[in-house]
Chains A and B, each alone.
Chain A
Amino acid sequence: MNAIDLLLALALLLLAGSALLARSVQTASVLFIAFGLLLALVWVRLGAPDVALAEAAIGAGVAGALLMLAASEFESRRIGGSRAAGPRLPWPRPQGWRPRWALVLLALACAAVLLLAVLAIEPLAGAATEAVARNLPQSEIAHPVTAVLLSFRAYDTLLEIAVLLVAVVAVQAAPAPPQRALAHDPVLARVAAITVPLALLVALYLLWAGSSRSGGAFQAGAVLAGAVLLARFASLPLDPQSRLTRPPVLALGLALFILIGLVAGALAGAALGYPSGWVKPLVLAIEAALMVSIGATLVALFGGSKTA
Chain B
Amino acid sequence: METLPPTIPLALSLFALLLVLNLALGLLRVLRGPGLTDRLLAAQLLGSTGVALLLTLAALQGWPSLRDVALVFALLGLLAAVAYARLRAEQHRA
Which residues from chain A sit less than 8 Å from chain B, CB to CB?
Answer: 1, 3-4, 7-8, 10-11, 14-15, 18, 22, 24, 26-27, 30-31, 33-34, 37-38, 40-41, 44, 49-50, 52-53, 56-57, 60-61, 64-65, 68-69, 72, 75-77, 79-80, 180, 182-183, 185, 188, 191-192, 195, 198-199, 202, 205-206, 209, 213-215, 219, 223, 226, 229-230, 233-234
Contacts and interface: CB of A to CB of B under 8 A. Distances in A.
A56 B27 contact: no
B17 to A, nearest CB: 6
Q: How large is the interface on B (under 10, 10 to 19, 20 to 34, 35 or more residues)?
A: 35 or more
Contacts of B21: 7
B90 interface: yes
26 contacts: A3-B20, A4-B17, A7-B21, A11-B27, A14-B31, A15-B42, A30-B39, A30-B43, A31-B31, A40-B69, A40-B73, A53-B65, A60-B80, A64-B83, A65-B79, A65-B83, A76-B94, A77-B94, A79-B91, A180-B90, A180-B93, A182-B90, A195-B75, A209-B65, A209-B68, A233-B86
Contacts of A53: 65, 68-69, 72
A233 to B, nearest CB: 5
Contacts of A192: 82
Interface in B10-67: 13, 16-17, 20-21, 23-24, 27-28, 30-31, 36, 39-40, 42-43, 45-47, 50, 53-54, 57, 63-66
Given A41-B50, A202-B75, A213-B64, 17 more contacts: A14-B27, A14-B28, A15-B27, A24-B36, A31-B31, A33-B80, A34-B27, A34-B43, A37-B50, A44-B66, A56-B72, A72-B91, A76-B90, A77-B94, A206-B72, A230-B82, A234-B82
A219 B72 CA distance: 9
A60 B72 CA distance: 11
A10 B24 CA distance: 8
B68 A11 contact: no
A128 B75 CA distance: 34
A8 B80 contact: no
Given A1-B13, A195-B75, A202-B75, A44 B39 contact: no
Contact of A69 (B20, B72, B87, B93): B87
Nearest to A61: B76
Given A18-B31, A233-B82, A49 B76 contact: no
Q: Is the interface of B mostly helix, strand, loop or mixed?
A: helix
A31 B73 CA distance: 16
Contacts of A76: 90-91, 94
B69 A44 contact: yes
A185 B81 CA distance: 14
A61 B42 contact: no
B66 A49 contact: yes
Given A68-B83, A202-B72, A37 B46 contact: yes
Contacts of A15: 27, 31, 42
Contacts of B53: 41
Contacts of B4: none
Contacts of A72: 87-88, 90-91
B27 A37 contact: no
Given A1-B13, A69-B83, A230-B82, A8 B20 contact: yes
B71 interface: yes
B43 A206 contact: no
